[in-house]
């Protein structure tokens, strides 16, 4: 379970950096893109972790 928090922390950190950069480049509407990417990435990581737990 500790891997989940590592993945989640890294994902939130990276998406916040991306959203900060896009905010300055594009504007407030750019926050939609990292939020969608964050949700997709978290679901992908959870699927990977579930597969890892099933193998053990």
pLDDT at 48: 82
**Count: domains in the chain:** 1
What is the distance between the alpha carbons of residues 37 and 35, in angstroms, rounded to a whole number? 5
Q: How confident is the model at residue 1 (pLDDT cuts 50, 70, 90)?
A: low
Which domain, by its residues, includes 41? 2-55
Place of tokens 């991306």: 18
**Do 30 and 23 meet the contact criterion of CB atoms below 8 Å apart?**
yes
pLDDT the model gives residue 29: 63
20-53: per-residue pLDDT in tens? 777 777 766 666 777 788 888 888 888 887 777 6
| Radius of gyration of the CA atoms of the chain, in A | 14
Residue labelled with tokens 């905010």: 23
pTM for the full predicted model: 0.43
Backbone angles phi, psi at 32, to 5 degrees: -65, -40
């Amino acid at each position: 379970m500790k891997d989940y928090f590592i993945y989640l922390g890294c994902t939130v950190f990276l998406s916040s950096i991306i959203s900060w950069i896009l905010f300055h480049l594009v504007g407030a509407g750019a926050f939609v893109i990292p939020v969608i990417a964050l949700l997709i990435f978290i679901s992908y990581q959870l699927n990977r972790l579930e597969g890892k737990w099933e193998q053990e």
